């Protein structure tokens, strides 16, 4: 059993708070994207790719692949930690197909680790259902409390 699965209501609140945290991050205003957390240990981010992120060869730049893969794996891992923000300590990625315009889905999944270091993987799938990239990252607990970050707290009302 994953740590957050033991408390259904608490896990649900934590997952929605992580979705708000993602939406509130200033860097995410640069991307047409939305985080969904369906369950502990899983994250899905939908991105819309347009020409503004193309390299000179007419496809999405590798930095966009990294952003999508890292975020999906990160949030999958952070579903298991309800008090601290995780930090990426390493990330390996593989490009398998160029992507141009359209929707891309990054699917993240926690693999191992429950205390200080977490391992998670992510894959990118294009609108045709083809895998276009894959990555694995390690993430560790920081000293940053989630509760103090903009967007994490429940909206007033």
What does the pLDDT look like over 9-24, one tens digit per residue?
Answer: 899 999 999 999 999 9
Angle at CA 137, nearest 5°, toward 133 and 140?
155
User: In CATH, what class is 3-148?
Assistant: alpha beta
Buried/exposed code over 53-90 (b: 16+ C-beta within 10 A; e: otherwise) = bbeeeebbeeebbbbbbbbbbbbbbbbbbbeebbebee
| Predicted local confidence at residue 4, as pLDDT | 42
Residue 26 in this model has a pLDDT that exceeds 90? yes
CA proximity to 94, closest of 123, 72, 73 = 123
Model pTM? 0.92
């Amino acid at each position: 059993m994953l740590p957050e699965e033991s408390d259904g209501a608490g896990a649900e609140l934590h997952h929605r708070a992580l979705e708000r945290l993602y939406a509130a991050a200033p860097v995410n205003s640069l991307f047409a994207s939305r985080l969904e957390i369906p369950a502990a240990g899983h994250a899905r981010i939908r991105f819309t790719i347009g020409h503004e992120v193309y390299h000179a060869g007419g496809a999405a730049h590798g930095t966009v692949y990294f952003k999508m893969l890292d975020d999906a794996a990160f949030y999958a891992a952070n579903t298991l930690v309800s008090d601290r923000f995780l930090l990426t300590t390493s990330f390996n990625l593989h490009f398998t197909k160029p992507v141009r315009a359209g929707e891309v889905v990054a699917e993240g999944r926690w693999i191992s680790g429950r205390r200080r270091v977490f391992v998670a993987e992510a894959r990118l799938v294009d609108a045709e259902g083809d895998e276009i990239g894959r990555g694995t990252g390690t993430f560790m607990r920081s000293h940053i409390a989630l509760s103090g970050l903009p967007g994490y707290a429940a909206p007033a009302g």
